[in-house]
């Protein structure tokens, strides 16, 4: 895998504001990875934000505009002809097609069951849970990951430990790994 791998961020990752913020902050210069998505992934993220997470529609639209503006190179097009040959869960064929079309290195998703390991090697792809991928990025450049975590925490008015504990609700393996490596005691109760 190259030093700044191309990673398709699935809708379940993008819809989670804390995860999305961290993954996109880790893609800023100097990038640890390069995010990739297609229009259907962004549509699905917005549906999840509005219908399942209760975001106001205007906030979701604003989020999408900001994401598209900050990472215009992330949008992959021309993936639709690949749908018939993508042998994964029907609802996620567009994700695999985007990965293939963009020549991504991996798919970052919480829905690993939708991407059976036998369906990915022909495309030289793997699917990774967001927590596992974050641990991998931490192993590439722990200093940069910690600096970006601290940057986000400061922006949110939190301590880095509190922010990491909040992230731990979605990616406990990553939060535990970083806390242990840094000797941080994470608060048990977070606002």
The whole-chain average pLDDT of the chain stands at 95
pLDDT digits (tens, 9 = 90+) for 129-185: 999 999 999 999 999 999 999 999 999 999 999 999 999 999 999 999 999 999 998
What local confidence, expressed as pLDDT, does residue 1 receive? 46
What local confidence, expressed as pLDDT, does residue 190 receive? 64
pLDDT digits (tens, 9 = 90+) for 48-61: 999 999 999 999 99
What six digits make up the tokens of 22? 């961290």
* Whether the predicted model's global pTM rises above the 0.75 cut: yes
Extract long-range pairs of 185-189: CB within 8 Å, 24+ residues apart: 185/161, 186/161, 186/162, 187/161, 187/162
What local confidence, expressed as pLDDT, does residue 162 receive? 95
pLDDT at residue 81 above 50? Answer: yes
pLDDT tier, 187 (very low <50, low <70, confident <90, very high otherwise): confident
What are the residue boundaries of the structural domains of the chain, listed by start?
6-134, 142-182
Spatial distance between the Cα atoms of 57 and 65, rounded to a whole number of angstroms: 12
Indicate the CATH number for domain 6-134. 3.40.50.1010
What local confidence, expressed as pLDDT, does residue 188 receive? 79
What local confidence, expressed as pLDDT, does residue 3 receive? 63
């Amino acid at each position: 895998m190259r030093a700044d791998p191309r990673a398709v961020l699935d809708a379940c990752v993008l819809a989670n504001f804390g995860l999305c913020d961290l993954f996109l902050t880790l893609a800023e210069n100097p990038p640890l990875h390069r995010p990739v998505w297609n229009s259907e992934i962004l549509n699905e993220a917005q549906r999840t934000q509005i219908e399942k997470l209760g975001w106001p529609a205007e906030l979701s639209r604003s989020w999408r505009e900001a994401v598209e503006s900050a990472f215009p190179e992330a949008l992959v097009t021309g993936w639709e002809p690949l749908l018939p040959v993508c042998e994964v869960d029907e609802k996620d064929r567009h994700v695999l097609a985007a990965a293939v079309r963009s020549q991504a290195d991996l798919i970052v998703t919480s829905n690993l069951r939708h991407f059976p390991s036998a369906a990915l090697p022909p495309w030289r792809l793997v699917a990774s849970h967001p927590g596992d991928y974050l641990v991998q990025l931490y192993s590439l450049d722990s200093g940069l990951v910690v600096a970006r975590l601290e940057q986000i925490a400061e922006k949110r008015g939190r301590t880095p430990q509190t922010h990491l504990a909040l992230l731990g609700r979605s990616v406990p393996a990553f939060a535990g790994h970083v806390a242990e490596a840094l000797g941080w005691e994470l608060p048990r109760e977070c606002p």
